[in-house]
Structure 1
């Protein structure tokens, strides 16, 4: 099943970005080769007992190694199970979301329990140590997402063994990001079109690295592969939908979103998250969402006492209305025959279905631009209400961007405008880029 996702050149081997992070880390902590390191052609690159540091980077990066380098390393103060327990305990004491989860379960001990029997072979310990030292935000994200996943596993009555597998999948789900250019960490770095293939590939890379250890159940590999899927089929890398996503994969995809909102937003994360889960109810597993929404209610009550910002709501409503109208104009301009013969799984059908689904979701939430124009007139002075309108607008605009990204990712030839239908989608995407 997953083997079909292994394009040429994509395997569990070390990327230049990972080798750079590893050798840079080795300048600050002792990293020693506990066995000789060979190239795929049998040439010895590093002697047993040699100290690894950044001076070796150029030498290592020029060769494909016989095995991943972290199978051969001994590291001072690595991430091991006791270190994970200590870091997760600290998280439940210092961060709002893990603290809320621990409080709801009665103690942090229930969140920590699945970690105690976690398999952590040397190669995984090495990758997590690189993540902790070189990409600390990614390490914190992995820990926080793991606490959400364990919480959802407990609330779903998973066995202790399954919760352990779930903890491993959540902890290791973003190993593939270590092989991506760190420029992706820059919030100002915006990549669209074919370059997004690196982002789409990271669940596959992580799955292959986990498989390579032969230390985890297949359910862990598959769940990691699925952590960016969506219940409506709009996710990646396989665009799975509904029952095609495994139970553990569903937990991971929701835990990823929950953790990300608390990490991304300092202001009103509970209200933002609640809105997104309600507005996108087709994307997320409803049974699992029902375990999250009640947690957010008390937080939302506290957040509503703050002074939310809703000044950008009118502009967002205008942009949404224009985006929907522009698509309707492009559709109307198509020859009747072209629209009728559009491929059912092509770019035109995809964009049309996604835009219709977004409009339907907005109508169901009472937040379509036509509805909001009337609401705005009644909300003067209602700061909390204006904030809700602004949040809906931001989420809907983000979804427009996601339609654009998915269209370019799935149909990179769109810019060639080979058919009238492709031209309509390409024109709409160009309009979105200009306006957003």
Structure 2
């Protein structure tokens, strides 16, 4: 802004924010150059993020860390020239996305560790081979100090485990509580409750997903409640659509994990409070969480690629008014449309 006049970049960000927030019909024009849109919106959040477009690659220069930074994360978006959307498999260099502990995720894990048994499953080393934490030891605030600005040999999320964490059984119990709690979702859930309860009990939780869900359950309970509700709704929609057990289980997982990327932004910027009117600063943080969650699931878990893609697409809209890629309904996966 100069002399009180918004710069074109600032105005473009504001227009994109308003269009996405209001869902006021297709806003394709605002997304004609998705590269420039993200280069303008994300510098306050990401460092060293990367865009892939067709056969060409453009590497964004590093930007200074600011509040809400995702450390050394790389944002990966793949667009075919035709406008279609695919998830790009991570390369060896992309695995540095989680090379440093994210301060928001770490703070949430440490808060949860005050009442839950979260331990280091293995020794934790920095990239130079210095041992920072011994295996099989409970985590504490001392770990936070040792991890400050350290590049790690292995992502922290794969080095910790919640021994008394969220399980398929506890998810089934949470589903029962949802059914008995007068939720507005009851008309959709009750016709399929028995089948959903049975399939939830058989869900497999990857240790990374379990760790983050446990941290959310303890330190961000509204986020966990939202995840459980989305899990149930996704499953019910897939059952109603005639999905077999495998498809319903996949839908349950996608719903449960759709907002896992929010663990990597400040809780004040999250969307769990559905009635809250987002300001632009919060929107700048929130807009990137689908890709953070997608990267995490693609790189740190062995879940099917459909899960990571659905998480990346969960804020897209059929009329192309969603974010971050303004995909049309036909460009989205089945799970993403749910």
Between the aligned partners of 1:49 and 1:217, the Cα distance in structure 2 is 29
For normalisation by structure 2, the TM-score amounts to 0.67
Say whether 1:91 aligns with 2:91. no
Listed as ranges, the gaps of 5+ residues in structure 2 are: 1-49, 54-58, 63-71, 74-96
Q: 1:115 to 1:97 in 2, by over 3 A?
A: same
Q: CA RMSD in A?
A: 2.4
Q: Could you tell me which of 118, 139, 160 is aligned with 1:73?
A: 160
Distance 2:280 2:337 in 1: 26
Partner of 1:101: 188
| Structure 1: gaps of 5 or more residues | 252-436
Aligned to 2:257: 172
Q: Distance in 1 between matches of 2:144 and 2:170?
A: 28
Matched residue, 2:29 = none
**Bigger strand share:** 2
Moved over 4 A (4+): 5-8, 185-190
Matched, 1:192 2:240: no
Matched, 1:4 2:52: yes
1:32-431 equivalent positions in 2, closer than 5 A: 32-105=119-192, 108-185=193-270, 190-192=278-280, 196-251=283-338
In 2, are the aligned partners of 1:33 and 1:74 still within 8 Å (CA)?
A: yes
For residues 120 and 239 of structure 1, what CA distance do their matches in structure 2 show?
31
Alpha-carbon distance in 2 for matches of 1:71, 1:95: 37
Cα deviation digits, residues 67-103 of structure 1 (max 9, x gap): 2223222434200111111111111111323432233
Larger radius of gyration: 1
Give the length in aligned residue pairs. 247
Residue 196 of structure 1 deviates from its aligned partner by 3.1
TM-score (norm 1): 0.53
More helix by share: 1
Distance in 1, matches of 2:147 and 2:292, equals 20
Secondary structure, counterpart of 2:180 in structure 1: helix
Aligned mates of 1:175, 1:63 — CA distance in 2: 23
Query: C-alpha separation between the residues in 2 aligned to 1:104 and 1:121?
Result: 29
Instruction: Quote the offset at 1:224 in angstroms.
Output: 0.9
Distance in 2 between residues matched to 1:137 and 1:159, nearest whole Å: 30
Distance between the aligned counterparts of 2:277 and 2:317, measured in 1?
A: 24
SS, match of residue 262 in structure 2: helix
